[in-house]
């Protein structure tokens, strides 16, 4: 049984580039493309071959870099990060990449994922007399690498990674080289691309399209890649395991124009909608999706059941996390910031409302009420993923079991709580069919938050070192 205490999540995006004279500028555009992966902080560290320079701040990428003078951020290599902070850890010191100076070499680290044994490792490091400056998991890796006065190289990184249990995608930048690593189960996405002669690395392939790079390949589970002016070298720090790419990356987290493990996110979401319509059809007049993440699934659902897909809900795209939210009193008067129903579409209609997932149930309850107030005669909720009954320990902010509505209520009870006329979820088989389109290309997904079957636990991730690629 896994403990209910989660480590600090790093539900984030990483981007890196090697060998380009406009490294900082390209990193800025790369981070902009990854903005959906984290809105609380952004940063980059640039190398000019001799020194590293850091630029970071709290807020959206545009806010953080609005005063940046890119002609002063000179260097041919850079690593960047967008951060999604969970409660209580939103300070500037936790904004990445974390930057460590030493007399011999400096190092910057950017991380997406969650180190499950970070608390234990932190205790061990503190006992050795090390003083950690942040509450971020990422700092633990830096100290593990530099333990015993080690230099940073493939062996010391591999050794450090073999002490870590969890899900992680790391990019490490030094003055004259860059390292890229993915956890042995490949829970988080990470890809390599080319931009002319330069190498780029990104959490999601959508960033390659935006900077004009071409996709080369996915980083493999347990792979450690070194990029320098000599080119690219690969080694393995862990035996290759069954891949377990996070299913929620497809369901909700990633951008529709990204490909994960050779599968396009929009296409997989559309197939989730098709599977859902096959499993749970219902008589209605229109199908609508909750913008933005549910639109692909709603299109698939409508197509499969032969009903019109309509824009029954509109999202105000200018509402950010930092926007002043209306008080409870104003909210009750009907002030809606993020979503509004389109009365002309839903009035007098039986509406099928597709959402990608239900976590706590708050969003669905609000939307059902909104649609009914706008005149919908019936609201049938269809969820394009299975019931989330288990917390995520691998870096997606998915609450504790106590807060997960499906962990504590049956589907019938959920229907009553959110005030819908009917509720149905996609089955786990349906989800798998939608994602694992081509079994020869796709090796497997993590579905632990739906099934409770966790692919990585402190017990099953043994320290295995095998430096053969
Ligand atoms: P709720 O049920 O109100 O907690 O929120 C569910 C909504 O949040 C869904 O419509 C998803 O689009 C979105 N969502 C799903 N997973 C996450 C997550 N890990 N972090 C933030 N939002 C999420
Ligand atoms: Fe993704 Fe769920 Fe697995 Fe976490 S538990 S990695 S959210 S599929």
Using the mean position of ligand 2's atoms as its centre, give its distance from the Cα of residue 300 in Å: 23
Instruction: Please give the pLDDT value at position 454.
Output: 94
pLDDT per position as a tens digit, 91-148: 888 899 999 988 888 999 999 998 999 889 999 999 988 888 888 888 899 999 988 7
Q: Ligand 1 centroid to 24 CA: how many Å? A: 32
For the chain, give every domain's residue range: 3-242, 263-431
Q: Name which CATH class applies to 263-431.
A: alpha beta
Question: Which CATH class for the 3-242 domain?
Answer: alpha beta
How many angstroms does the Cα of residue 424 sit away from the middle of ligand 2? 21
pTM for the model stands at: 0.92
Q: Are 221 and 200 in contact (CB under 8 A)?
A: no
| Residue 89 confidence (pLDDT) | 67
How far apart are alpha carbons 41 and 35 in whole angstroms?
Answer: 10
Q: Which residues contact 241 (CB under 8 A, 6 or more apart)?
A: 184, 185, 186, 221, 222
| Over residues 56-73, mean pLDDT | 93
The answer to whether residue 392 is catalytic is no
Give the span between the Cα atoms of 142 and 179, in whole angstroms.
13
Q: Is the CB of 290 under 6 A from ligand 1?
A: yes
Half-sphere exposure of 373 (CA within 13 A, CB side): 13
State yes or no: pLDDT of 463 exceeds 80. no
Query: Which is higher by pLDDT, 193 or 239?
Result: 193
Residue 349 has pLDDT above 50, yes or no: yes
- Decide if 213 contacts 195 (C-beta within 8 A): yes
Ligand 1: residue of 85, 294, 363, 395 to mutate (most ligand atoms within 8 A of CB) is 363
Ligand 1 contact, 363 CB (< 6 A) = yes
Taking CB atoms and a 6 Å cutoff, what residues make up the pocket around ligand 2?
Answer: 187, 246-248, 392, 394, 396, 398, 446-449
Percent of the chain topping pLDDT 90: 73
Q: Which of 243, 252, 449 to mutate to test the pocket of ligand 2 (most atoms within 8 A of CB)?
A: 449
Which ligand neighbours the alpha carbon of 189 most closely? 2
Q: How many CB atoms lie within 10 A of CB 43?
A: 27
């Amino acid at each position: 049984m896994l403990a209910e205490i989660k480590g600090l999540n790093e539900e984030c995006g990483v981007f890196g580039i090697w060998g380009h004279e406009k490294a900082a500028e390209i990193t800025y555009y790369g981070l902009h493309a990854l903005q959906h992966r984290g809105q609380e902080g952004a940063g980059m560290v640039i190398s000019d071959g001799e020194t590293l320079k850091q630029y970071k701040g709290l807020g959206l990428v545009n806010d953080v870099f609005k005063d940046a003078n890119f002609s002063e951020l000179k260097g041919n290599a850079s690593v960047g990060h967008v951060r999604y902070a969970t409660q209580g850890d939103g300070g500037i010191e936790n904004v990445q990449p974390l930057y460590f100076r030493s007399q011999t070499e400096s190092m910057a680290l950017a991380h997406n994922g969650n180190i499950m044994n970070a608390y234990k490792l932190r205790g061990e490091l503190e006992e050795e007399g090390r003083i950690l400056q942040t509450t971020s998991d990422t700092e633990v890796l830096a100290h593990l690498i530099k333990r015993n006065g080690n230099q940073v190289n493939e062996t010391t990184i591999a050794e450090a990674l073999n002490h870590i249990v969890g899900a992680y995608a790391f990019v490490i930048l030094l003055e004259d080289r860059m390292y890229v690593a993915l956890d042995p189960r490949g829970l988080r996405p990470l890809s390599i691309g080319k931009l002319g002669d330069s190498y780029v690395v990104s959490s999601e392939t959508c960033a390659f399209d935006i900077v004009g790079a071409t996709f080369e390949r996915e980083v493999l589970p347990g792979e450690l890649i070194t990029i320098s002016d000599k080119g690219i070298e690969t080694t393995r720090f862990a035996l290759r395991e069954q891949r377990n790419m996070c299913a929620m990356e497809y369901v909700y987290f990633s951008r529709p124009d990204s490909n994960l493990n050779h599968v396009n996110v929009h296409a997989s979401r559309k197939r989730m909608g098709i599977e859902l319509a096959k499993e749970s059809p219902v008589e209605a007049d229109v199908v609508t999706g909750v913008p933005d993440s549910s639109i692909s699934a709603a299109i698939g659902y409508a197509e499969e059941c032969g009903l019109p897909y309509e824009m029954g809900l509109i999202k105000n795209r200018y509402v950010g996390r930092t926007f002043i939210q209306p008080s409870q009193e104003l909210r009750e008067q009907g002030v809606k910031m993020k979503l509004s129903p389109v009365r002309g579409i839903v009035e007098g209609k039986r509406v099928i409302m597709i959402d990608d997932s239900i976590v706590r149930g708050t969003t669905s309850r609000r939307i059902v009420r909104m649609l009914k107030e706008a005149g919908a005669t019936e609201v049938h909720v269809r969820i394009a993923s299975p019931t989330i009954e288990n917390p995520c320990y691998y870096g997606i902010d998915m609450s504790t079991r106590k807060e997960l509505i499906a962990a504590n209520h049956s589907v019938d009870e959920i229907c009553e709580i959110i005030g819908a006329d009917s509720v149905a979820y996609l089955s786990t088989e349906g989800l798998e069919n939608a994602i694992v389109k081509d079994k020869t290309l796709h090796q497997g997904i993590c579905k632990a938050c739906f099934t409770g079957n966790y692919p990585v636990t402190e017990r099953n991730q043994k320290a295995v070192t095998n430096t053969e690629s």
